[in-house]
Amino acid sequence: MSGSNFEQLSRSELAILLPELLLCGHLIDRSGMAHTIAAFGREGMTAVAIEEWQLASPVYTRRMQRAFGFTGDDVVTIFKGLQLDIGAPPQFMDFRFRVDDRDHGEFWLDHCGALLDVEPMGEDFVVAMCHDIEDPTFDATALATNPHAQVRPIHRPPRRPADRKPMCAWTVTIDAAHIPPSVPPNADRMASTVAAGLPLSDIDLDDEGRSDYAGPLLSDLRFADFSKSALVRMADEVCLQHHLLTLGFLIALRTRLASTAALELGRKQFAGIAGLTAERLRKALNLGDDPAALATVLRLHPAWNPLSYTGVCVTEAEDGVRLTIPRDSGAESDGAWPAMIDADHLAPIDAMARAVNPRFAAHTVDSTDRELTVEIARAEQPFRESTEVALTRFSTGAAFAFTDRGIPLPLTVV
């Protein structure tokens, strides 16, 4: 199935949606890691987080570089990639940058929503995130641009004093003498997924607005400056980041759990982030709570995008919405989110629907080898929020509000 579900939105609506998609991609871990801690403990959760980000981030970083014309091997290219990465959603993970020359730079976080999420859990969890996870995963992200890049801390949490700002600071150095980190196990499995190589529609260079991110590094990306065509492509790429991170999560789980147990944990992750994402999309676009609003939320939900990857069809029925999930898609082949849904496992769809209206309920209409058809209709009474969504809501990102920062400044070499 060709085309993009995001084409239905205006340029201004897409500019609102992009930071939401980046933030919700970041919150995938808030959904998955609570269950991972229960299964493996803190150290096991840390190992899973390292593996999933190491596998996913180099793949989607290179995709975004190619799509938006900022391929290179310097520090500026690394920093631009971070600005379009679900690991660093704007403002919630408030990365600030300084460029000294092509091979040297610094970044620091004036606000780190991830840190605020884990500080109440104690110093062991702070060290796990800011030391054990960040060291190998920052290098893995930089590796996508230059194998000789190294990211090293200037200072980082635990914070002393407790309100220290910036929350952390890092150097980025490119040096041919640096020995590249080893390629993580299962990198070949990730590279061979349909998601990793999925072609998406070209950006229309004649469309009004920016078509790429060539030129100087900007202090912030203002999505409203990009053309509609570029924003459609960007939205589809960010949705692929969601899928690639989840595929990395599943690969990490399957090296530690039996197949059925890994799938069960993956479904819990899916349900938690599915509901929270649907809620944020609905609020961002000022939608109602009727079937038309639900249909819009479902068409824009990262779980069902890009359309060429999932083939999922959303149609409005007389008093509800019908969702058709084909069984011959790239997402199905990869075992991504759509593949986790079957006639007996509709919890993620319920979570999405009840984020629009707590009375919505999903039920299977038809299930064959070719497709699964699910209908969502109103029940007489509202349903309670699921445990999976409630756990994900633990993050400060659940209620985070973006602000307009005005015209971004170009960052030149100091």
* 3-state SS class at 385: coil
Q: Is residue 260 part of a domain?
A: no
Residue 413 predicted with pLDDT over 80: no
Residue 124 predicted with pLDDT over 70: yes
Are 189 and 328 members of one domain? no
pTM for the predicted model, two decimal places: 0.97
pLDDT level of residue 318 (50, 70, 90 thresholds): confident
The count of structural domains within the chain is 2
Are 97 and 135 members of one domain? yes
Give the range of the structural domain holding residue 188, as residue numbers without chain letter: 9-241
Are 236 and 315 members of one domain? no
pLDDT level of residue 317 (50, 70, 90 thresholds): confident
Length of the chain: 414
Mean pLDDT of the 93-120 span: 97
pLDDT level of residue 2 (50, 70, 90 thresholds): low
pLDDT level of residue 1 (50, 70, 90 thresholds): low
Q: In whole angstroms, what is the distance from residue 378 CA to residue 93 CA?
A: 37
Q: List Cα–Cα distances, 331 to 253, 302, 362, 368, in angstroms.
A: 18, 12, 21, 17
Are 276 and 209 members of one domain? no
CA angle 414, 81, 304 (to 5 degrees): 155
pLDDT at 327: 97
- Of 1-10, 39-48, 272-281, 292-301, the one with minimum mean pLDDT is 1-10
Q: Where are the beta strands (DSSP E) in 341-406?
A: 360-367, 371-378
Residue 352 predicted with pLDDT over 90: yes
Are 145 and 26 members of one domain? yes
Are 111 and 236 members of one domain? yes
Mean pLDDT of the 260-285 span: 97
Are 237 and 276 members of one domain? no
Q: Is residue 168 part of a domain?
A: yes
H/E segment holding residue 106: strand 104-112
**Look-up: residue for tokens 């409005």?**
316
Mean pLDDT of the 355-363 span: 98
Are 201 and 277 members of one domain? no
Are 165 and 35 members of one domain? yes
pLDDT level of residue 234 (50, 70, 90 thresholds): very high
Residue 414 predicted with pLDDT over 80: no
Residue 143 predicted with pLDDT over 90: no
The pair of three-digit structure tokens given for residue 241, joined into one six-digit string = 């980041």
Q: In whole angstroms, what is the distance from residue 280 CA to residue 115 CA?
A: 21
Mean pLDDT of the 371-379 span: 97
Mean pLDDT of the 128-135 span: 94
Are 227 and 272 members of one domain? no
Mean pLDDT of the 90-117 span: 97
Burial (CB count <10 Å: 0-12, 13-18, 19+), residue 276: buried
Q: Is residue 247 part of a domain?
A: no
Are 205 and 277 members of one domain? no
Q: Is residue 2 part of a domain?
A: no
Which has the closest alpha carbon to 80: 52, 71, 94?
A: 71
pLDDT at 132: 94
Strand bridging mode 104-112 / 168-174: antiparallel
pLDDT at 361: 98
> Are 340 and 322 a contacting pair, CB within 8 Å?
no
Q: Is residue 233 part of a domain?
A: yes
Q: Is residue 262 part of a domain?
A: no
> Are 294 and 321 a contacting pair, CB within 8 Å?
yes
The predicted-structure confidence for 30-75, as pLDDT tens digits, reads as follows 899 889 999 999 999 999 999 999 999 999 999 999 999 999 999 9
Provide DSSP, 297-351.
HHHH-GGG-SHHHH--EEEE-SSEEEEEEESSSHHHHHT-GGGG-BTTB-HHHHH
Are 69 and 199 members of one domain? yes
Q: Is residue 212 part of a domain?
A: yes
